[in-house]
């Protein structure tokens, strides 16, 4: 066996491990190459693409992203859009974005509310329930409110769904000095980050037919995906091939060094 063949064999074995750790769906050749580099391997993306193809290692690729609008409750006045055009968060907790999606199971629907930190893409708070009452989004926001950096004047952005325009949600935000922000009617691109997360979650963690056998299975899978994989290990090309928790750790370490 040549040295090249031996190296290819080692790469394939490591790629199989990465493929398994990433829910057997998440990493195509660009992310696979980045993860191999993180683990100390030297290889090009073309080489990785060739080896993954030959070994039958495939990612589940996403379809074109098409945001969906949410119907506005005409009896509740929406908050203004405070994000501005193309706003980029410069620190953790500066902007939180929230949304709700449906989770299909053979036993009926579940509803997933998430609150995402725009700076790190960390899923900072989430809740899964059998109804879409306002408590669903408050629970997700409550967990995110413990994130280091969330403080008075943090922007909390959502669409104009009835859960977000409710008095209970508005009061929860006011009590903490958090600024409420909402997308314009029929314009949901401000919430594209959450919509993109939902698409990624369903592509990488859901069954092939996107219907879980039981609600218990859905709860377990979503918990494991968010808490053990997405936040801690799933690298993002938009984050320089780092995971959300890694971005936060590096940010606060650098800030501590600067202050000292």
Q: In the chain, what percentage of residues exceed pLDDT 90?
A: 49
60 has a pLDDT exceeding 90: no
Residue-wise pLDDT tens digits, 98-109: 999 999 999 999
Using DSSP, state whether 113 is helix, strand or coil: strand
What is the per-residue pLDDT for 21?
Answer: 66
Closest among 44, 6, 38, 42 to 22, alpha carbons compared? 38
Biggest alpha carbon–alpha carbon distance for the chain: 74
**What phi and psi, each to the nearest 5 degrees, are found at residue 123?**
-80, 90
Coil, helix or strand for 128?
Answer: strand
**Do residues 244 and 230 touch, judged by C-beta distance below 8 A?**
yes
Packing angle, helices 167-175 and 134-144, rounded to 10: 20
The tokens describing 170, both together, are: 């508005």
φ/ψ (deg, to 5) at 93: 80, -5
Average pLDDT on 197-216 reads 92
Q: What is the pLDDT of residue 61?
A: 54
Q: Is the pTM of this model over 0.75?
A: no
Question: Among 10-14, 153-157, 166-170, which stretch is predicted with the lowest mean pLDDT?
Answer: 10-14
Helices 45-55 and 3-21: angle between axes, nearest 10 degrees: 80
């Amino acid at each position: 066996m040549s040295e090249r063949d031996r190296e290819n064999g080692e790469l394939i074995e490591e790629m199989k491990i990465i493929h398994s750790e990433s829910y057997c769906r998440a990493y195509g050749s660009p992310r696979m190459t980045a993860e191999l580099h993180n683990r100390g391997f030297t290889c090009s993306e073309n080489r990785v693409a060739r080896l993954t193809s030959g070994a039958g290692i495939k990612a589940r690729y996403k379809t074109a992203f098409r945001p969906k609008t949410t119907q506005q409750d005409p009896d509740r006045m929406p908050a203004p859009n405070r994000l501005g055009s193309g706003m980029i968060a410069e620190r953790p907790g500066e902007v939180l974005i929230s949304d709700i999606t449906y989770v299909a199971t053979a036993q009926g629907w579940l509803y997933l509310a998430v609150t995402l930190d725009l700076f790190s893409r960390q899923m900072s708070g989430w809740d899964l329930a059998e109804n879409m009452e306002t408590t669903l989004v408050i629970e997700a926001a409550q967990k995110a409110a413990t994130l280091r950096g969330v403080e008075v004047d943090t922007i909390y952005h959502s669409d104009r769904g009835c859960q977000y325009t409710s008095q209970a949600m508005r009061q929860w935000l006011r009590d903490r000095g958090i600024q409420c922000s909402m997308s314009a009617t029929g314009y949901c691109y401000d919430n594209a980050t959450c919509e993109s997360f939902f698409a990624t979650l369903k592509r990488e963690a859901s069954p092939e037919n996107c219907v879980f056998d039981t609600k218990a299975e859905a709860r377990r899978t979503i918990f494991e995906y968010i808490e053990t994989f997405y936040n801690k290990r799933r690298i993002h090309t938009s984050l320089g091939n780092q995971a959300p928790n890694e971005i936060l750790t590096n940010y606060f370490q650098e800030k501590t060094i600067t202050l000292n």
